[in-house]
Chains A and B, each alone.
Chain A
Amino acid sequence: MSDDLDQWMTRARDQGDKDAFAQVVESCHHLIRATMLRETADPELADELAQEALSRAWAKREQYHPGTSPRAWLITIARSQLMEYHRRQDRDRRHLRELVRQELLRHQPADDGEQADRLGALRACLAEIGDEHRRLFEMVHAEGLSSDAAAETLGIRPDACRQRLSRLQRKLKDCAERRMENAG
């Protein structure tokens, strides 16, 4: 996989091949998003930084050194985006959301380095939950609906929808952990 990544990134660099770069994005986006989550404690911000980093990586693709690790290169770019964000977000520092984010970062968990395994286990667990529950995840996490909009579609109250999401996510996490333990 590492060799494939390097080849795709090299092709993107040398030939401006967007399809090759799309393969790099497909293979690396979860790792970059998870890494940024650990460093921001904010999934929305993490995704925006990761998107910005991938856009920058495409724009600066000629700076990639063939034979090295595209993952490490992309994470370095993402981290520089995060530093740039920190420099520019001073005005929001007082904001309550920023305070929560900083408090979460004080308790940053260790990196388990198991993103790929976790994602596989999570997908397997998703296949086991009921259709209605999976539909809720799809609406919120795949289609980007707000939980209020999802609640309206499902005919439940908004606060109940968020509680349901929260409980289902915890169950999914437990399920994925069990699967990983059994596999390990």
Chain B
Amino acid sequence: MDADPTTGAGDGGQTRDERISELATGFALGELSDADLREFYDFLRDPREGSSAASLAWQQLGVVTDLRAGMGTAFQDTVKHRLDLEGRSDRFTRTARSRLGNARPSLEPVAMPESRRQLRLAPLLLIAGAIFIAALVFAARHGRGTAGETLCRVLEVEGEASLGGGALVAGSNVDHRQVVVPGGSQLVLAWSDGSLAVLAGPANAVAQSAGISLTNGGAWIVAANQFVCGLPDDTVRAEAGCRVALSVVDNRSVVGVSSGTASLTSRTLKAGEAASSSIPYAWTNWAAADGAHAPHPEPSPDWVLDGTLAWDEHAEGADVGIADGSLNGLLLTLSPGTMQVTRSRASSSGPRTVPLPGAPLGQLTLRFAASHRHLTLASGTMLLLQEDIPAATAISIGPANARLLQGLRFHNGPAPHPPLPVHAQAWLAGAETSPP
């Protein structure tokens, strides 16, 4: 490297910080070679000085964006150019691509007058056009898609599961196509390094060479080596030996670590910790044989209370109180055939009464699953409340009829276990550490 960068003269004493800044600048410009990228990555991964390297790098990235925003109008010109193109042929191309299930990202390079992008764009578009036409022909001849590199294989299937529309059975190879697990089914995938993923339906996922992308549903991971889980709103990097549970609903993920450590984008989770929308809390899981007070979990936006309600001839109703440690609380009063939902503080919505499924005096399986403003019952009924549902620091069962509520189980974060048994050795080997 040059000692005097302003002249380009000989090699000399570039400090670590200068080198990191230079690499970050090259990264921001998209100009780093593989060797440079590797060097940059090594700086960032340094256990002691990675944070300071990242801090320096972020400063350079920020300045680059500020300079681009402050010095030119190329960005605005490009937006205008794209608006002018609105409704022209690229829309047709995207629609056709979408119909064929082609996963090519929509963020193509765009034309930018007198810029690096423009210089690169014309040949790229020609090549992309040729590739797309070839893909259309290929897709037309080969139907829904083609198998590719084997990334992992199926170890166990309970119920049914499919890959690119074809049924999966134990021993099937899994490639980059989408894995679909219907509700009530469960699939166990194994990677060559011993890593394991259990998918509980309804779930959709795509396998990676050392990881998995989960777009919907629940997954439980045993990472033999570093294992990366792509989620709609975050990325989870499970370190070797880590066991992690994932849940994705409506593009929101909830992550819980039962052993080892896993890194999210903004924080690292240790064993016994969970996070919803990057908010960390202690991952809690308890069970009570009959109606009882719950321990006091930390506030968490997502929680589930399961149980069975068995009426007897003397029973009039049962109360379940959910409090978050402040004045905010929710009282669920269960009566034969109905449930009344009351806020413990002034609410614009007032008490609400909803019907309960099944025969009024029949035994009822309860599942209260809270997620922000939604309270889901076992029947699939979803209540949308006016305020956030309490973060459940305490759950209390009305003493008079506590006996009516049996087999109560509570957990926040993702479910600690898959719903169906898993027989794989790699799962059983550390299963005793699994519950939080």
A-to-B contact residues, CB < 8 Å: 18, 21-22, 25-26, 29-30, 33-34, 37, 41-52, 54-55, 58-59, 81, 83-91, 93-94, 96-97, 99-100, 102-109, 115, 118-119, 122-123, 126, 137-138, 140-149, 151, 156-157, 159-167, 169-170, 172-173, 176
Which A residues are in CB contact (< 8 Å) with B110?
A: 48, 51
The minimal Cβ–Cβ distance linking A40 to chain B, given in whole angstroms, is 9
List B20-71 residues whose CB lies under 8 Å from chain A: 21-22, 24-32, 34, 37-38, 40-41, 44-45, 50-51, 54-55, 57-71
Q: Which of B5, B69, B109 contacts A164 (CB 8 A)?
A: B5
The minimal Cβ–Cβ distance linking A137 to chain B, given in whole angstroms, is 6
Q: Are B59 and A26 in contact (CB under 8 A)?
A: no
From B83, B112, B115, B206, name the one whose CB has the most chain A CB atoms within 10 angstroms: B83
Residue of A nearest to B267 (CB): A106
Q: Which of B24, B206, B209, B263 contacts A106 (CB 8 A)?
A: B263
Which A residues are in CB contact (< 8 Å) with B59?
A: 170, 173
Q: Are B41 and A96 in contact (CB under 8 A)?
A: yes
Q: Are A163 and B208 in contact (CB under 8 A)?
A: no
Q: Are B106 and A145 in contact (CB under 8 A)?
A: no
Q: Are A58 and B2 in contact (CB under 8 A)?
A: no
Q: Which of A94, A123, A167 contacts B21 (CB 8 A)?
A: A167
Which B residues are in CB contact (< 8 Å) with A100?
A: 27, 37, 40-41, 44
Given contacts A25-B76, A96-B37, A157-B8, contact A169 B63 (CB under 8 A): yes
Q: Are B83 and A55 in contact (CB under 8 A)?
A: yes
Residue of B nearest to A52 (CB): B107
The minimal Cβ–Cβ distance linking A119 to chain B, given in whole angstroms, is 5
Which B residues are in CB contact (< 8 Å) with A119?
A: 66, 69-70
Binds A, one of B229-237, B392-400, B407-415: B229-237
Q: Are A107 and B83 in contact (CB under 8 A)?
A: no
Given contacts A156-B8, A167-B5, contact A43 B64 (CB under 8 A): yes
B72 at the interface (CB under 8 A from A): yes
The minimal Cβ–Cβ distance linking A124 to chain B, given in whole angstroms, is 10
The minimal Cβ–Cβ distance linking B69 to chain A, given in whole angstroms, is 4
Which A residues are in CB contact (< 8 Å) with B186?
A: none
B127 at the interface (CB under 8 A from A): no
CA distance A37 to B202 in the complex (A): 34
Which A residues are in CB contact (< 8 Å) with B266?
A: 105-106, 108
The minimal Cβ–Cβ distance linking B323 to chain A, given in whole angstroms, is 32
Which B residues are in CB contact (< 8 Å) with A118?
A: 66
Residue of B nearest to A47 (CB): B75
Which B residues are in CB contact (< 8 Å) with A115?
A: 66
Q: Which of A90, A123, A142 contacts B74 (CB 8 A)?
A: A142
Q: Are A163 and B1 in contact (CB under 8 A)?
A: yes
Q: Which of B2, B31, B265 contacts A146 (CB 8 A)?
A: B31
B313 at the interface (CB under 8 A from A): no
B18 at the interface (CB under 8 A from A): yes
Which 10 pairs across A and B sit closest by C-beta, in order of nearness? Answer: A144-B115, A142-B72, A163-B5, A107-B54, A160-B8, A156-B8, A30-B69, A144-B116, A157-B8, A103-B44
B-to-A contact residues, CB < 8 Å: 1-2, 4-9, 14, 18, 21-22, 24-32, 34, 37-38, 40-41, 44-45, 50-51, 54-55, 57-72, 74-76, 78-80, 82-83, 86, 103-107, 109-110, 112, 114-118, 176, 206, 208-211, 213, 215, 228, 230, 232-233, 235, 237, 251, 263, 265-266
The minimal Cβ–Cβ distance linking B40 to chain A, given in whole angstroms, is 6
The minimal Cβ–Cβ distance linking B176 to chain A, given in whole angstroms, is 7
Which A residues are in CB contact (< 8 Å) with B208?
A: 90, 93-94
Which B residues are in CB contact (< 8 Å) with A147?
A: 26, 29, 31
10 residue pairs of the A-B complex, CB under 8 angstroms, read: A51-B75, A51-B78, A90-B208, A93-B230, A103-B44, A105-B235, A108-B58, A119-B69, A170-B59, A173-B59
From B27, B107, B251, name the one whose CB has the most chain A CB atoms within 10 angstroms: B107
The minimal Cβ–Cβ distance linking B3 to chain A, given in whole angstroms, is 10
Additional A-B contact list (16), CB under 8 Å, known A30-B69, A43-B64: A34-B62, A54-B79, A55-B86, A58-B86, A83-B232, A86-B230, A86-B233, A90-B213, A100-B27, A106-B265, A115-B66, A145-B116, A157-B8, A162-B22, A166-B18, A170-B59
Which B residues are in CB contact (< 8 Å) with A151?
A: 8
Q: Are A86 and B232 in contact (CB under 8 A)?
A: yes
Q: Which of A44, A85, A107 contacts B58 (CB 8 A)?
A: A107
Q: Are B265 and A105 in contact (CB under 8 A)?
A: yes
